[in-house]
Amino acid sequence: MTLALTGLSHHTSPLALRERMTLNPGRVPEALALLHAALGPDSGIALLSTCNRIELYACCKESAQETHNILVKFLGTLYHLSESEFSGFLYHKEASEAVTHLFRVASSLDSMVVGENEILGQIQQAYDLARSSGTLNRMLSVLLQRALKCGKRVRSETHIGEGKVSVASVAVDLAESVLKELQGKSAMIVGSGQVSEQALKTLIERGIGHVMVLNRTLERARLLSRRYRGEAIMLDALPCHLHRADIVISSTGAPEVILKTSDFERAIERRGRAPMFVIDIAVPRDIEREAALVDNVYCYDMDDLQAVAERNLQKRQEEIDACMEIVEYETASFINWRRRLHADPLIKALTQNYDAIRERELRNALDKLSHLTDAQRQVVESLARRITNSLLRKPVAALKNASAMEQEQLMLIIKRIFDLCDTESL
């Protein structure tokens, strides 16, 4: 059977196209059923759809080119696009190349952020949806399970997922290391910069207790604070509320400093000298540099955070060779399994052929040995089975362990010798 992949990702296509080619998980079973019907009842189909990639995996009796043509046509129908709008951004892979690609994807080596964890859950979801939709055959089912195994091995046996690589994640990790515990703490976001909002969202996910959002316009502060069930405050009132914040994230775009060292000195006194974690990601700076000299004020700027993120990313890059060793091992393991599976129908037919000969000759012999006791007959029958199994052992091992090219040649020879030419392989 042909194993083929057709897809596109952030490596090959613009965001605008990927936004048009998104699919609600609720529609996936219907889509899979339609494609499964087009490729035939013995085929296997799975769809991996994320914000950064759309990939169709097919295992069917069609040739690789025919399969790709069917998949491209299906994508156009599914997303209501003409082929000219997306076909130039597609990649097509087959056989071992498709296996290696999927295992790289599962290992997050093909992700926008190398080492991220979300992709494993997305592959699991693709597997679950295909299985519940009844569109998996044996080969594709095993392939997806092996991909999940490969991804888990990469994460447990390497350091690819260690160290945050986004500025927002680094900021939250630093805050947690300084404050020890985020639950019950309060965070203040000053302005509405994208990175500061991402950091605030991550803080909420980590259990931050209370959120204050400050902006020059109260209405804009309210819009953001509603998203996080926070408190909206006018920017002018910042010095009056600074002492309430355990974490301050500032990104206003103001032309000059809005928080001075003296503001932090007063805030620390009002806090009973409880520590404050301050992130200044504005350009130009929102916070006076000397504020970092105030006792218990832990102040970081964009350069600090970016440097940590880049160091973490470099560490992940250094793990890629170790990850690829696992990917290559798991790919070879799957290819070997597939090759053995390819020979299974012939091995079954060959075994049946030998068994039929054995039973025929055994009956003839036992008919002439009617004087044998039941125990003696069992000895003869056991001997016949052992001889058959011994004769089969080496040719079966040769078929299972041969390279792909050798296996094809051996299968042709065996089919011809034993008149098994009507036997189909997987």
pLDDT recorded at residue 421:
61
The secondary structure of 145-201 as a DSSP string is HHHHHHHHHHHHHS-TT-S--SHHHHHHHHHHHHHS--BT-EEEEEE--HHHHHHHH
Round the average pLDDT of the chain to a whole number and report it: 89
The amino acid that residue 264 corresponds to is F
Q: How many helices (H) and strands (E) does the chain have?
A: 16, 10
Compute the distance between CA of residue 219 and CA of residue 344 in angstroms, rounded to an integer: 69
Element (H, E) at 14: none
pLDDT recorded at residue 424:
47
Angle between helices 404-417 and 320-368 (to 10 degrees): 10
Compute the distance between CA of residue 259 and CA of residue 250 in angstroms, rounded to an integer: 10
- Asked if 414 and 343 count as a contact pair (C-beta separation under 8 A), the reply is no
> Is the domain defined by 2-162 classed in CATH 3.30.460.30?
yes
pLDDT recorded at residue 401:
76
pLDDT recorded at residue 34:
94
The string of pLDDT tens digits covering residues 186-200 is 999 998 767 777 878
- Name which CATH class applies to 167-302: alpha beta
First to last CA, the chain: 5
Q: Which structure tokens are listed for 409? A: 């040649």
Domain 2-162 matches domain 167-302 at the CATH topology level:
no
Angle between helices 320-368 and 374-401 (to 10 degrees): 150
3-state secondary structure of 279: strand
pLDDT recorded at residue 426:
36
The amino acid that residue 52 corresponds to is N
Q: Which structure tokens are listed for 147? A: 């991909």
- Asked if 268 and 277 count as a contact pair (C-beta separation under 8 A), the reply is no
pLDDT recorded at residue 193:
67
Catalytic residues: 51
Cα–chain center distance at 130:
16
Identify the CA nearest to 23 among candidates 102, 66, 62, 78.
78
Domain boundaries defined on the chain: 2-162, 167-302, 331-417
pLDDT recorded at residue 425:
41
pLDDT recorded at residue 422:
54
Residues of the chain with pLDDT under 70: 193, 404-405, 421-426
